[in-house]
């Protein structure tokens, strides 16, 4: 640690200017923005090609590429990340490339963009820039063309609701190394195995040059503060690489700096350079969150700050280098990480962060526990202690770390001979989804005489309890037992009682999850048996069971579409690229939230009911009014026209007056100078409720005979009553079908920008809606204006699927009240969670059926009752 003076210098280092390059342009980051995400920053500086889809790294619409120079590897590293999750300061000293930096119509599209447009890979277009950026980051990271599998893997963090993915994968497959691809454009074809240029996706000779060599040909042109992308317009020849945005020379030379910055609400942002700085900060701010790497003889020492994508790549290398027996744990981690999350998340999430957040549904924690990992914990005095992973998790989101302690590193031991570790996970969707149940399992077998006896075991589940749970009784049972069919049957019985999922456990589907815990063990038994196949006294598993132990492997998706192109000189019947495609792949297409809010514009946030059914007793807005940036609050009493609205029947209130009938019902609207300030103020509106009885399910409603008019639907076919009563039919089948409510999940959340003209004589809006005329009608109604004075425009929407009809008009009507009364532009853009909570869904259904038929299968009578 050196002398005291040195120590002080380390702890209070010189804070340098915080900088960032965006699309080749140097930006100085002012202090005070620690609360801001990279996405907010990018959109604020006018780069609206990067979209806000979900705000939680789930959809990939916000994907950008981040590059930094790795001094150890001596090369530039390129990562796709979710800009919605990245704190702005986390990319300090890096180069961010957005879709605007990849190519545009005026200076030429990038081959990735061109191919996606040509292959009909964009429909609503809202997810499109994110797909471009994931693919772009992959190509810039590869020295040789990537495999098709790698391309699909890099897209796992990107959702598309329109295309069904086939045209997207088709568009990007041309950049893969195999040559048995479906070429959509002959100019984009390439020979298998050729070196592909990361700039163009085409074979060229630049691959041999090091990136930094290529980067020194500076090409970006600045015009004032604006970015002029380099030109890709010449699509042939070897000059491609000169057209790529280079890594900024300043960043090649720059040392990482100590950062000490602040943000709204007293937020502080530190980027310590040394462990001691981290520990001192942790001592000072013990509740602070840490936002973030060695091989030993006994196993792997993995730094807490190692990114999951680094871990994955490292494990893949280790598996190749080391003996098969030693790396069962490594392979289990590789498999689990494959389905863990999108690439964008793995590129920023750290090993330590994933552990310490202690999610009860963590995919990795059961594996750490089962694999016998050890966690190294350090405190501010530098003392290190070691805890077994299986003892680290203490309860819901609670771990064995005291104030001032941090997780320093993880030790993952090599597996011994006849020690097997396996991962399990079941989710709704294979890629990038939360597990229903997951597990990590390990057994160590020892040959004792003629038999293979279990000398050690660990069976750990996730998703079954508030924390990752060891099946301790099962473990106890297993140790010392012989590895055979009898063991399996007995163990399953014990396991059933060992892992109990309560009937009302969060997440539901309890029966299914219970069966998963058992079947995972069954699969583990089969898999271990298969590994031991041929060893004496180990029973071979039947051929019929072999499929159960294979890792899931999805071959690259190939789809084909057959249609006849009838040439008659017009576009009709011909597979034309749609007119917005080139705007969408370049991020140039403007969606509602991309339209700049005029000066003096305000942002709206809704005041929402937190009760399912209640009487509003009082509304206290005093705290909201004192909130920073507050500009106004508007309730039912402030509505200039009629507070009652509806598409056909006027049966709904714009702002609830006396009663609320669902959580998320709109009670009023608050406007503020920023989106964040408006939300903050809206949350500070305190409402006193008198709670009233609520009916929360269809069955409850049927029981209470609480029906909406015209919602009960009965279908009868045949002489129903007679048939069922008279015994005409040989057999009667009856039952129920339940379908849950379904979110439309348009990629673009609801958004409207509303402004007045001539001081409220006219109201204009741009709205993301399927029903501009309903906007006109609703807003004229609530503002008491003639419809001729209300204008709604919709240039395009980022998906609607029926979810942006009446509901978008309702939201715009709420925001029109402050805009009209204050004569200021008001923007309302819903966060994804609010959008899902309040806009309604495709209803849930309960169907009851009764069918009478003959032994021959002829249906004689059908009775169907549908409730929704």
By CB under 8 A, name the binding residues for a second copy: 46, 104-106, 223-224, 226, 583, 586, 588-590, 596-600, 630-632, 757-761, 795, 822, 824
Which CB, 540 or 600, lies closer to a second copy? 600
Which CB, 425 or 824, lies closer to a second copy? 824
CB of 845 to a second copy, least distance (A): 40
Encoding tokens for residue 310?
A: 């680094």
Which CB, 146 or 229, lies closer to a second copy? 229
Which CB, 66 or 815, lies closer to a second copy? 815
Which CB, 345 or 669, lies closer to a second copy? 669
Residue 517 φ/ψ region, left for φ over 0, alpha for ψ in the -120 to 50 degree band, beta for the rest: alpha
CB of 825 to a second copy, least distance (A): 8
Q: Taking a C-beta distance cutoff of 8 angstroms, is the pair 494, 474 a contact?
A: yes
CB of 761 to a second copy, least distance (A): 6
Which CB, 48 or 63, lies closer to a second copy? 48
The CA–CA distances, whole Å, from 505 to 217, 451, 464, 465, 495 equal 59, 41, 8, 8, 18
The CA–CA distances, whole Å, from 730 to 78, 424, 735, 857, 860 equal 68, 46, 17, 9, 10
CB of 587 to a second copy, least distance (A): 8
Which CB, 130 or 272, lies closer to a second copy? 130
> Which residue, chain included where needed, has tokens 């849950």?
740
Which CB, 252 or 822, lies closer to a second copy? 822
Strands 762-767 and 451-462: unpaired
Three-state DSSP string of 636-688? HHHCCCCCEECCCCCCEECCCCCEECCCCCEEEEEEECCHHHHHHHHHCCEEE
CB of 117 to a second copy, least distance (A): 14
**Long-range own/partner contacts, residues 254-261 (CB < 8 A, 24 or more apart):** 254/93, 256/93, 257/13, 257/15, 257/16, 257/18, 257/92, 257/93, 258/13, 258/14, 258/15, 258/16, 259/15, 259/18, 259/89, 259/92, 260/15, 261/18, 261/29, 261/31, 261/32, 261/33, 261/34, 261/89
Which CB, 762 or 865, lies closer to a second copy? 762
CB of 824 to a second copy, least distance (A): 8
Rounded Cα distance between 137 and 133, Å, is: 6
Which CB, 542 or 599, lies closer to a second copy? 599
Q: Taking a C-beta distance cutoff of 8 angstroms, is the pair 585, 43 a contact?
A: no
Which CB, 223 or 543, lies closer to a second copy? 223
Rounded Cα distance between 276 and 4, Å, is: 13
What residues does 96 pair with on adjacent strands? Answer: 22, 66
CB of 102 to a second copy, least distance (A): 13
Q: Give the start-end residues of each E strand in 195-335.
A: 221-223, 226-228, 259-262, 268-271, 299-303
Q: Give the start-end residues of each E strand in 60-216.
A: 63-70, 75-82, 95-97
CB of 682 to a second copy, least distance (A): 16
Q: Taking a C-beta distance cutoff of 8 angstroms, is the pair 49, 588 a contact?
A: yes
Rounded Cα distance between 818 and 831, Å, is: 19
CB of 544 to a second copy, least distance (A): 58
Rounded Cα distance between 665 and 653, Å, is: 9
CB of 439 to a second copy, least distance (A): 50
CB of 631 to a second copy, least distance (A): 5
Which CB, 382 or 596, lies closer to a second copy? 596
Which CB, 190 or 821, lies closer to a second copy? 821
Q: What share of the chain is helix, strand, coil (3-state, %, to 5)?
A: 30, 25, 45
Which CB, 492 or 595, lies closer to a second copy? 595
CB of 266 to a second copy, least distance (A): 25
Q: Taking a C-beta distance cutoff of 8 angstroms, is the pair 798, 748 a contact?
A: yes
Residue 589: phi, psi to the nearest 5?
A: -65, 125
Rounded Cα distance between 68 and 62, Å, is: 19
111-118 vs 128-141: helix axis angle to the nearest 10? 140
Name which of 661, 664, 680, 660 is nearest 672 in CA terms: 680
> Which residue, chain included where needed, has tokens 């006027």?
650
Rounded Cα distance between 549 and 530, Å, is: 8
Rounded Cα distance between 216 and 248, Å, is: 8
Which CB, 508 or 598, lies closer to a second copy? 598
Neighbours of 90 (CB within 10 A): 18
Which CB, 49 or 55, lies closer to a second copy? 49
- Quick one: DSSP state of residue 390? H
Q: Taking a C-beta distance cutoff of 8 angstroms, is the pair 768, 762 a contact?
A: no
CB of 509 to a second copy, least distance (A): 45
CB of 576 to a second copy, least distance (A): 17
Rounded Cα distance between 786 and 314, Å, is: 66
CB of 221 to a second copy, least distance (A): 13
CB of 823 to a second copy, least distance (A): 8
């Amino acid at each position: 640690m050196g002398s005291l003076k040195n120590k002080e210098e380390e702890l209070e280092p010189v804070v340098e200017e915080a900088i960032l390059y965006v699309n080749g342009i140097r930006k100085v980051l002012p202090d005070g923005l620690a609360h801001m995400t990279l996405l907010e920053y990018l959109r604020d500086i006018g780069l609206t090609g990067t979209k806000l889809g979900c705000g939680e790294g789930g959809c990939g619409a916000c994907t950008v590429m981040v590059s930094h120079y790795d001094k150890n590897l001596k090369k530039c590293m390129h990562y796709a990340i979710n800009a919605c999750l990245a704190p702005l300061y986390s990319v300090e000293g890096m180069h961010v490339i957005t879709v605007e930096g990849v190519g545009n119509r005026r200076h030429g599209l990038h081959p990735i963009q061109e191919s996606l447009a040509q292959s009909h890979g964009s429909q609503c277009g809202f997810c499109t820039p994110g797909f471009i950026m994931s693919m772009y980051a992959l190509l810039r990271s590869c020295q040789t063309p990537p495999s098709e599998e790698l391309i699909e893997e890099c897209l796992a963090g990107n959702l598309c609701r329109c295309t069904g993915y086939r045209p997207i994968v088709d568009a990007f497959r041309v950049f893969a190394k195999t040559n048995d691809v479906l070429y959509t454009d002959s100019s984009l074809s390439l020979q298998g195995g050729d070196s592909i240029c990361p700039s163009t996706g085409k074979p060229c000779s630049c691959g041999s040059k090091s990136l930094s060599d290529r980067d020194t040909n500076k090409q970006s042109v600045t015009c004032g503060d604006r970015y002029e992308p380099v030109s890709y317009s010449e699509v042939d020849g070897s000059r491609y690489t000169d057209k790529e945005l280079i890594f900024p020379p300043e960043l090649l030379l720059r040392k990482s700096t100590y950062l000490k910055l602040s943000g709204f609400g007293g937020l502080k942002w530190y980027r310590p350079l040394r462990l001691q700085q981290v520990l001192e900060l942790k001592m000072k701010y013990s509740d602070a969150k840490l936002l973030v790497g060695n091989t030993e003889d006994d196993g792997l020492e993995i730094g807490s700050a190692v990114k999951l994508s680094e871990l994955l790549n490292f494990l893949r290398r280790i598996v190749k280098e080391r003996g098969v027996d030693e790396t069962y744990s490594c392979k289990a981690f590789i498999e689990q990480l494959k389905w863990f999350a999108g690439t964008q998340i793995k590129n920023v999430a750290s090993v330590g962060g994933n552990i310490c957040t202690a999610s009860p549904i963590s995919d990795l924690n059961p594996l750490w526990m089962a694999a016998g990992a050890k966690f190294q914990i350090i405190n501010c005095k530098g003392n290190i202690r070691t805890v077994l992973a299986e003892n680290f998790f203490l309860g819901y989101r609670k771990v064995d770390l005291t104030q001032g302690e941090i997780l320093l590193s993880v030790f993952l031991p090599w597996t011994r001979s006849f020690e097997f570790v396996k991962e399990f996970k079941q989710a709704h969707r294979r890629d990038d989804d939360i597990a229903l149940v997951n597990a990590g399992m390990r057994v160590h077998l020892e040959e004792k005489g003629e038999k293979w006896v279990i000398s050690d075991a660990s069976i750990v589940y996730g998703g079954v309890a508030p924390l990752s749970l060891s099946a301790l009784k099962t473990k106890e049972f297993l140790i010392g037992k012989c590895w055979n069919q009898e063991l399996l049957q007995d163990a399953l019985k014990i396991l059933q009682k060992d892992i109990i999922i309560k009937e009302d456990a969060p997440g539901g589907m309890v029966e299914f999850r219970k069966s998963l815990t058992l079947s995972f063990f069954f699969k583990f038994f089969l898999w271990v048996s298969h590994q031991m196949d041929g060893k004496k006294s180990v029973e071979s598993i039947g051929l019929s069971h072999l499929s159960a132990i294979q890792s899931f492997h999805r071959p690259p998706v190939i789809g084909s579409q057959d249609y006849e192109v009838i040439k008659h000189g017009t576009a009709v019947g011909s597979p034309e690229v749609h007119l917005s495609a080139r705007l969408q792949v370049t991020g140039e297409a403007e969606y509602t939230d991309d339209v700049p809010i005029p000066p003096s514009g305000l942002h709206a946030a809704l005041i929402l009911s937190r009760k399912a059914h209640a009487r509003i007793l009082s509304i206290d807005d005093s705290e909201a009014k004192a909130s920073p940036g507050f500009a106004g609050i508007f309730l039912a009493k402030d509505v200039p026209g009629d507070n009652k609205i509806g598409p056909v029947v006027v049966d709904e209130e714009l702002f609830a007056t006396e009663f609320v009938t669902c959580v998320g019902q709109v009670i009023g609207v608050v406007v503020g100078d920023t989106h964040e300030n408006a939300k903050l103020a809206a949350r500070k509106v305190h409402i006193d409720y008198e709670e009233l009885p609520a009916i929360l399910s269809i069955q409850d409603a049927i029981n209470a005979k609480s029906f909406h008019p015209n919602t009960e639907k009965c279908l009868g076919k045949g002489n129903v009553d007679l048939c069922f009563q008279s015994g005409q039919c040989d057999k009667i089948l009856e039952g129920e079908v339940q379908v849950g409510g379904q979110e439309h999940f348009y990629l673009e959340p609801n958004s409207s920008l509303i402004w007045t003209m001539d001081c409220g004589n006219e109201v204009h809006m741009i709205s993301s809606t399927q029903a501009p005329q309903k906007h006109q009608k609703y807003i004229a109604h609530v503002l008491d204006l003639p419809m001729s004075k209300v204008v709604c425009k919709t240039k395009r929407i980022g998906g609607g699927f029926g979810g942006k009809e009446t509901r978008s008009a309702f939201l715009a009507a709420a925001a029109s009240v402050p805009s009209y009364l204050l004569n200021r532009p008001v923007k309302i853009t819903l966060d994804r969670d609010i959008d899902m909570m309040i806009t309604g869904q495709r209803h849930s259904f309960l169907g009851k059926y009764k069918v009478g038929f003959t032994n021959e299968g002829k249906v004689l009578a059908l009775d169907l009752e549908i409730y929704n």
